[in-house]
Amino acid sequence: MTLRQRARTRLPAVTEGAMRLVQAIAAEYQPLIAKLASLPSPMARLKREAEEQLGRLLYKHFVSQTPWGRLQHLPRYLKALRLRLEKYPAAPDRDARQAQAIAHLWNRYEQRLEVQKHAGKVSQALLDFRWLIEELRVSLFAQELKTPFPVSVKRLEKIWSEIKE
């Protein structure tokens, strides 16, 4: 069987899977946007952080530019973000502490990303680290959604120390 024939037979299943995934993303996106819109002004920091995270997950061409293995986790990341917004009023101090830990990791990631982009080569380890931060968000803000592997600030710090400039 030629590669073209094989691709032709698999295309309908791949297309159907992609459409189901996009529908799942849209299904999580709608309630998240509604929750964001309803946040009161005292929650401005949280709203800003959520909008930034959402923009990094769902940007123009995200479907074609997000690695397939990560794209499949977007519905869970969006649901975790919504759960964070819902849980915030019960423990704003806890949320702020966790958000600070994530912001520290994210800022270091972005700085190293710029350095590597400027050098003309972004390491796969750094690209993978970006997604570890998303898993950490799930672990810290929506534990009930589970992560596919253990993740913590301490583990990410260790991984970070192993990522080369």
Cβ atoms within 10 Å of 29's Cβ, excluding its own: 18
- At 142, list the tokens: 């929506």
pLDDT at 156: 97
What residue segments make up the domains of the chain, in order of their start?
A: 3-162
- Residue type (1 letter), 159: I
pTM of the model: 0.91
Handedness of CA 26, 31, 34, 38 (dihedral sign): negative
| Rounded average pLDDT per 10-residue block, the chain, 165 residues | 77 83 96 96 94 97 93 97 96 96 97 95 95 98 96 97 83
Would you give the distance in Å from CA 92 to the centre of its chain?
21
DSSP 145: G
For residue 110, the surrounding DSSP H or E stretch is helix 92-119
pLDDT at 165: 66
